[in-house]
Structure 1
Amino acid sequence: MKIDVVLPCLDEETALPWVLERMPDGYRPIVVDNGSTDGSARVAAELGALVVSEPRRGFGAACHAGLLASSGEVVCFMDADASLDPGQLPRVTEPVVSGRADLMLGRRVPVPGAAWPLHARLGNAFLGRRLAGRTGTRLRDIGPMRACRRADLLALNLADRRFGYPLEMVLRAADQGWRIAETGVDYLPRAGRSKVTGTVRGTLRAIGDMRKVMSEPGGAR
């Protein structure tokens, strides 16, 4: 089964070599350059990734551009900042490939030295509680590593193009009766500073986007 891995990317030149070199056999990386000012696109291309340019800034915009560029039966999403190990992708894809789950999320388990600030963890827990109340789906993390079938995801018609994209995916999947589950994946010390969790402002911006998605009918913007 062909599996594509969408990697939204904004100035991750330093992290990309480690990420791409650890991609498992049979997993094709699609690096979506979301306006990088460093050599991210060049590095990704030199290391054999399919590089897609998405000039419209936004995490959801980058994810969706990668989804449209993919052709695998199963599509994965993960951060390109080396905070997640691509070698653990099979933990997330196997339940989807075997038909035991429709959407699989990687629940981040921090390893020693990993930086997951308190404000980010509290925001994640808040959204988890809201999600459980809305859908009955109990998740401990709105994880950045995830996998599902490409055709099914396209049929959800996700509309958010900002930080609400991952949450909208879970909401719409739950509304459609998808089997949603999670498994633990290592959360590593990332390369550089996070554009989201690295600052309180970034975390609040992401939470604001997700709250908008949560408050609207159908989870759409």
Structure 2
Amino acid sequence: MTAARVDLVLPCLDEEHALPWVLARLPAGVRAIVVDNGSTDRSAAIAREHGARVVTEPRRGFGAAANAGLEAADAAYVAFCDADASLDPAELPRLLALVEGGEADLVLGRRRPTSRRAWPVHARLANRVLAARMSRRTGVRLHDLGPMRLARTAELRSLRLRDRRSGFPLEMVLRAATAGWAIREVDVAYAPRAGRSKVTGTVRGTVTAVADMSRVFAEVER
């Protein structure tokens, strides 16, 4: 079997309905690492049936699952993507090309909704505020926190990310900027997810995520 060029980390909590589509969309050279973060459905079994590597992370939290996937990765590049079918892994080669070509060290997928149902208004407004704050802090004009992202595995590990909750993606961007990384955005399609979101699908989830990210802003110094 040819070694993967990219390990795609898919934090997963009860995504049995979305995983078959997501895993069927993997481009050549991309291997899936599904991190089961306490699923009560058949997510782990389905991931294995579709050829994914499954890692179990009992500590609940997006950051805990994402970090477990990062630690398990052994390809030269690592990517992250939601496992809910809202994002298409087939778009990853465009992100990879920028890093391989030396144009960026971290590439974020800027979400472009394919329908009004894809991105609730309260979540979109919260993201806009966070993006503006992130741009001021990093000095890089950014529009989205970007749940799809890609970087070199060894370099990303060197950032020693500590957040294990919703602040993990933000901490990655802040620490990358502090380290002098070139950060780029690429437009990616954003479709309605399969099932209800644990975060952006509810006002409470969005408020919790914003609180986590506000804490990260306070903790990460430039």
Q: Give the TM-score taking structure 2 as reference length.
A: 0.96
Number of the residue aligned with 2:14: 11
Number of the residue aligned with 1:135: 138
Structure 1: 5+ residue stretches without partners: none
Q: Partners in 2 of 1:45 and 1:14 — Cα distance?
A: 14
- 2:166 maps to 1:163: yes
RMSD of aligned alpha carbons? 1.1
Moved over 6 A (4+): none
Other structure's SS at 2:221 match: helix
Other structure's SS at 2:169 match: helix
The structure 2 residue matched to 1:85, chosen from 81, 85, 88, is 88
Other structure's SS at 1:218 match: coil
Letter in 1 for 2:57: E
CA displacement 1:121-171 (0-9 Å, x = unmatched): 111011111112212111100010000000001100000000000000000
- 2:173 maps to 1:173: no
Instruction: Check whether the contact 1:113–1:188 (CA below 8 A) recurs between aligned residues.
Output: no
Q: Partners in 2 of 1:217 and 1:192 — Cα distance?
A: 33
Structure 2: 5+ residue stretches without partners: none
Letter in 2 for 1:50: R
Other structure's SS at 2:21 match: helix
Q: Partners in 2 of 1:51 and 1:218 — Cα distance?
A: 34
Percent of aligned pairs sharing the same letter: 62
Other structure's SS at 1:185 match: strand
CA displacement 1:87-139 (0-9 Å, x = unmatched): 11112121012221000000000013542111101110111111122121111
The structure 2 residue matched to 1:183, chosen from 171, 183, 186, is 186
Deviation, 1:217, is 3.7
CA displacement 1:45-96 (0-9 Å, x = unmatched): 0100000000000000000000000001100000000000111111212101
Q: Give the TM-score taking structure 1 as reference length.
A: 0.97
Q: Partners in 1 of 2:140 and 2:71 — Cα distance?
A: 27
